[in-house]
Chains A and B, each alone.
Chain A
Amino acid sequence: DAGVIQSPRHEVTEMGQEVTLRCKPISGHDYLFWYRQTMMRGLELLIYFNNNVPIDDSGMPEDRFSAKMPNASFSTLKIQPSEPRDSAVYFCASSPHGGLHEQYFGPGTRLTVT
């Protein structure tokens, strides 16, 4: 089992460009979470889905960020237009159920916006 898969692993882009991050959760997991990790703010939840439906997007910083989950095996996080302050590591995690169940994290995508 490859676990949660994220692509790309590294992304370098110029300010103003569109960035799309991808995630494949573990098969059978009903929950999918997107996080952003920075030195200053640590790990912040951006949005999470249950059975492909967005449940809480209160952590999405602004309208430039959007996330979709068209099916149970794929999710995207899009930033348009990107800004230097978006530079961070973005993690995707999945969980078989909510609540006390462990979240299984992907390897992360390191995004650098110049």
Chain B
Amino acid sequence: AQRVTQPEKLLSVFKGAPVELKCNYSYSGSPELFWYVQYSRQRLQLLLRHISRESIKGFTADLNKGETSFHLKKPFAQEEDSAMYYCALRTANTDKLIFGTGTRLQVFP
């Protein structure tokens, strides 16, 4: 069965430190992967999608099919990055997303 695993429930770093939020998936076909973010008192929103190969708010994520991973990275964390981050997988021939359990990122000053 298709599955998304985010092994860390909580990740705490200091401002300026590098951040890596881990995401692994299980799917035998060609995956489409996304990161969604929920800031405090805001709605869940799309951060980035792997197919766009873009950097948003300094975050990047590379799809590694060999390791079935899509880790989210930022070289220098900012306090405003504190939020809940969800990795999501879309499989072929479907419009639904399978979300991981989420990782809460706390960036301390």
Contact = CB atoms under 8 A, between A and B. Distances in A.
Interface residues of B, number: 19
Given A42-B100, A43-B99, A43-B102, A100 B43 contact: no
B96 A56 contact: yes
Contact of B96 (A33, A40, A91, A107): A33
B95 interface: yes
A3 interface: yes
Given A41-B101, A42-B99, A56-B96, A99 B43 contact: no
Mostly, the A contact residues are strand
A interface bracket (residues with beta carbon within 8 Å of B):
20 to 34
19 contacts: A4-B43, A33-B96, A40-B101, A42-B6, A42-B99, A42-B100, A42-B101, A45-B98, A48-B95, A93-B44, A95-B95, A99-B32, A99-B95, A100-B32, A100-B90, A102-B46, A105-B43, A105-B45, A107-B43
